[in-house]
Amino acid sequence: MKRYELIAPCHFGLEAVLKKEIIDLGYYISGVEDGRVTFYGDEEAVCRANVFLRTAERVLIKIGSFRAETYEELFQGTKGLPWEEFIPRDGKFWVAKAGSVKSKLFSPSDIQAIMKKAMVERLKEVYRESWFEESGESFPVRVFLLKDEVTVGLDTTGDSLHKRGYRKLTAKAPIAENLAAALIMLTPWRADRILVDPFCGSGTIPIEAAMMAANMAPGMRRGFTAKNWPHIVGAQIWQDTLEEAEEMVDFSVETDIQGYDADEDIVAAARENARLAGVEKLIHFQKREVSELSHAKKYGFIITNPPYGERLEDKENLRPLYETIGERFRMLDAWSLYMITSYENAQQDIGRKADKNRKIYNGMMKTYYYQFLGPKPAKKPRPEGGNRQE
């Protein structure tokens, strides 16, 4: 099998979470930068990364990198890459996205046009063609420019990995599925612990938690661009990877995962999304105001994405809302609260300084993931004589 360097972009601030995921899959990390992790793997790694990674946005095959301070250098550097190893004679190819940070070349449209022209010139020479019909499979390319260093990747994913395929109905300002998964993974929550999201919206956080509890791979029910590239990744490898994912699912797990929302229609949408994800039996959704938040048991987790007040008319409601969150949290015995928000006075209104906070970019919006930690439950005593050596 051929060895590739693969690039996995992610939300800024979540690189360490994604890095751990990749290591847990068994792959060697070659680099970590703002918003992306690179690692080595073969064709199987392309499949497994797409199917199993919960926090990545996509998986790119690195075609190459070079330095470019002028458009001529960009053209020649792009032309020098081995495009014919990936794009067949009838392939449809284009630069789907160009990003530039602290580089002399900064116009996305100009970068895309120059690189497309260079790719055409390279393939003309290799295939001895004067014109390409581009009637075959799609080969989208993505490029990053950082301090004049150009990194070029072939997008194996297509639609972003946050699109698991289950969220057909959405609330306003829904949280992305891969971000929701990362928020859960940044906590000590496990399937045998209580999890409540009192602002569940479309149900994304409870659904992602239920999928983790049942060991469901996030990409097992969606398609990928690279599925149509048999010369790069064979169909048998995709089939083996999906069979591996199916064998890992365990619906016998017992959970206490709850999602509340004040809007009955939103709760209905969350239930439908959970059904489409196949985890509706693992989650209890109900119409409930945050002021009614309660639970009889100890050591639970609140993991939530409350309103930020992006619109001016919503801002005046934020203080009483966050004060209510704080009041209800104090009523819960030995619980922990994990909350992502851009609201600047969140800690003040909740009435407690967070034990930890983490800066995360939700799209282009800077948010903080506040972590109010409760006590750990006492360890269960081992059965007498359980590990005793005679």
**DSSP assignment string, 298-337:** SS-EEEE------SHHHHTTHHHHHHHHHHHHHHSTT-EE
Q: Which long-range contacts (CB under 8 A, 24 or more apart) does 153-156 make?
A: 153/7, 153/60, 153/61, 153/62, 153/63, 154/60, 154/61, 154/63, 154/86, 155/58, 155/60, 155/96, 155/225, 156/46, 156/50, 156/58, 156/59, 156/60, 156/61, 156/224, 156/225, 156/226, 156/229, 156/233
Which range among 78-82, 217-221, 329-333, 382-386 shows the weakest confidence by mean pLDDT? 382-386
Q: What is the pLDDT of residue 384?
A: 59
What is the rounded average pLDDT of the residues 373-379? 90
* CATH number of the domain residue 66 falls in: 3.30.2130.30
Mean pLDDT of 43-51: 98
CB 371 within 8 A of CB 335: no
CATH number of the domain that residue 316 is part of: 3.40.50.150
Q: How many CB atoms lie within 10 A of CB 363?
A: 10
Residue 98 lies in a domain: yes
C-alpha 323/C-alpha 201 separation (Å) is 20
The mean pLDDT of 154-163, rounded to a whole number, is 97
Q: Is residue 160 part of a domain?
A: no
Residue 81 β-bridge partners: none
Pairing of strands 356-362, 365-372: antiparallel
Single-letter code of the amino acid located at 223: G
Same domain? 132 vs 263: no
For residue 381, tell me if it sits in a domain: no
Give yes or no: residues 183 and 99 share one domain.
no
Q: Are residues 31 and 131 in the same domain?
A: yes
**Residue 312 counted as domain residue:** yes
User: What confidence tier does 63 reach under pLDDT thresholds 50, 70, 90?
Assistant: very high
Quick one: angle between helices 43-52 and 15-25, nearest 10? 130
Let me know if residue 91 belongs to a domain.
Answer: yes
Name 348's bridge partners: none
Residues 332, 198: one domain?
yes
Q: Alpha-carbon distance 52 to 213, whole Å?
A: 14
pTM of the model: 0.94
- Residue 91 and residue 184 share a domain: no
What percent of the chain has a predicted confidence (pLDDT) above 90? 90
What band does 171 get if pLDDT is binned at 50, 70 and 90? low
Domain end call among 106, 124, 155 = 155
In a domain, 245, yes or no: no
The whole-number pLDDT of residue 259 equals 98
Helices (H), 249-278: 264-277
Q: CA-CA distance, 184 to 218, in Å (whole number)?
A: 14
Cα angle: 308, vertex 314, 317; to 5 degrees: 90
Is residue 120 located within the same domain as residue 61? yes
pLDDT at 310: 65
pLDDT band, very low/low/confident/very high, at 313 (cuts 50, 70, 90): low
| 377 in Cβ contact with 226 (< 8 Å) | no
The label of the residue with tokens 């199917």 reads: 51
| Residue 147: pLDDT over 70 | yes
Bridge partners of 97? 142
Residues 365 and 271 both lie in one domain: yes
In this prediction, residues 118-122 reach a mean pLDDT of: 98
pLDDT of residue 389: 39
**22 in Cβ contact with 63 (< 8 Å):** no
Q: In what order do the strands lie in the sheet with 36-41?
A: 28-33, 36-41, 4-9, 60-67, 149-155, 138-146, 92-101
DSSP-derived letter for residue 70 is: S
The verdict on 181 and 129 lying in the same domain is no
Neighbouring-strand partners of residue 229? none
Tokens of 134: 């581009």
Q: Which domain holds residue 356?
A: 177-215+252-372
In angstroms, rounded to a whole number, what is the distance separating the alpha carbons of residues 57 and 35? 10
Nearest Cα to 39, choosing from 48, 29, 47?
29
Mean pLDDT in the chain? 94
Using alpha carbons only, how large is the chain's radius of gyration in Å?
24
How would residue 309 be classed by pLDDT, with cut points 50, 70 and 90? confident
pLDDT the model gives residue 172: 67
149 and 262 share a domain? no
Give the pLDDT of residue 285.
Answer: 98
Work out the end-to-end distance of the chain between its first and last CA atoms, rounded to an integer number of angstroms.
Answer: 49
pLDDT at residue 13, rounded to an integer? 95
Domain shared by 15 and 146, yes or no: yes
Same domain, 328 and 368: yes
pLDDT digits (tens, 9 = 90+) for 250-286: 999 999 999 999 999 999 999 999 999 999 999 999 9
- Does 260 share its domain with 135? no
CA dihedral 171, 262, 321, 191 (to 10 degrees): -80
Q: Is residue 130 part of a domain?
A: yes
Q: Report CA-CA distances (Å) from 303 to 197, 320, 381.
A: 5, 19, 28
pLDDT band at 317 (very low <50, low <70, confident <90, very high): confident
Q: How many domains does the chain have?
A: 2
The proportion of the chain whose per-residue pLDDT surpasses 70, expressed as a percent, equals: 96
The answer as to whether 269 is a domain residue is yes
pLDDT digits (tens, 9 = 90+) for 82-100: 999 999 999 999 999 999 9
pLDDT tier at 388, thresholds 50, 70, 90: very low
> What is the distance between the alpha carbons of residues 351 and 199, in angstroms, rounded to a whole number?
19
Can you tell me the mean pLDDT for 117-146? 96
| pLDDT tens-place string over residues 209-250 | 999 999 999 999 999 999 999 999 999 999 999 999 999 999
Domain final residue pick, 86, 120, 155: 155
Burial 209-246 (b: 16+ CB within 10 A, else e): bbbbbbebbbbbbbebbbeebeebbeeebbeebbebbe
